[in-house]
A and B are shown apart, each in its own frame.
Chain A
């Protein structure tokens, strides 16, 4: 399955080994859990709630690895560990949130395509 700008499904397809039910379950789980996590991260960043930022980042990172977005997983790891100055992290987090919503949109689109 190809043609998405913000996700790369090769990793999931490799894990699926032709099992379309697995693809459906994974994408469906992503579309269910990611909106809440994105909202949670956005609100934690707004409130400077460092503990919640770390916890939510940790929770979200594997999702992006599965969707072929290791780059976003790495930003989340930086947020989880606070390895960079806060101003840099805030800038990266803002860009991440925008991109992550595109990722979510592509993932849900891919799910619809599989289910058709």
Chain B
């Protein structure tokens, strides 16, 4: 995906450029400080993904989105203020990164944009189901039925609310099929549905009776994904 960065803070631009350079599948097309410069770049280049700051010196970043036509690139907003999130929804942006953000969070946003573009829609919702091959049959599984996914050598086990499915696949493939806002890979061997976590303790999450380990490196990102009481 060809990327454009629009942010008036040079340090943030350098940070994003660095992250883009490390991410396979992303190429930096241009990086600029104002909405006006960004609009000019968009006219002369095919851009797939914009990392866009909201508070720009010449224009509100969201106003720039109003000027874009139907073939709109995917948009990841990058801002210091969570308060902008509500307005961002009106503009159907792909994701919303609050500075400072982790590598995991950055990757998640990019994967989301990538999936949306593969589905041919820069602003459509993620599918609410997946089809998996069980024996010789393609079974439709609703995402709202999945509790967690566990790696089992060459297979993955998808634990549903009523049933479990053993599928010949990889954790990576399953992870890419799931909505990153609802599912999170807490460990090399586990992906969990965030709203089904009933407890987090001693580097583990609990879903029903199942105690699932959380990698040390994932704890911080996991805590940023759940709805935690502020000030704790």
Contact = CB atoms under 8 A, between A and B. Distances in A.
A65 B100 CA distance: 7
A74 to B, nearest CB: 12
B12 interface: yes
Contacts of B19: 15
A66 B55 contact: no
A69 to B, nearest CB: 12
Chain A contact patch, size range: 20 to 34
A90 interface: no
Given A22-B18, A58-B55, A61-B80, A32 B10 contact: yes
Given A29-B11, A30-B11, A65 B99 contact: yes
B14 interface: yes
A26 to B, nearest CB: 6
A59 B9 contact: yes
Interface string A33-66: 1000000000000000000000100110111011
Interface in A1-32: 11, 15-17, 19, 22, 25-26, 29-30, 32
Interface residues of B, number: 15
B22 interface: yes
Given A61-B80, A62-B100, A15 B15 contact: yes
Interface string B1-27: 000000011111011001100100000
A55 B60 CA distance: 13
A59 B12 CA distance: 11
Given A62-B80, A63-B11, 17 more contacts: A16-B18, A22-B18, A25-B14, A26-B14, A26-B15, A30-B11, A32-B10, A33-B10, A58-B81, A59-B9, A61-B80, A62-B11, A62-B99, A62-B100, A65-B99, A65-B100, A66-B100
19 contacts: A15-B19, A16-B18, A17-B22, A22-B18, A29-B11, A29-B14, A32-B10, A33-B11, A55-B55, A58-B55, A58-B80, A58-B81, A59-B8, A61-B80, A62-B9, A62-B80, A62-B99, A63-B11, A77-B80
Interface of A: 11, 15-17, 19, 22, 25-26, 29-30, 32-33, 55, 58-59, 61-63, 65-66, 77
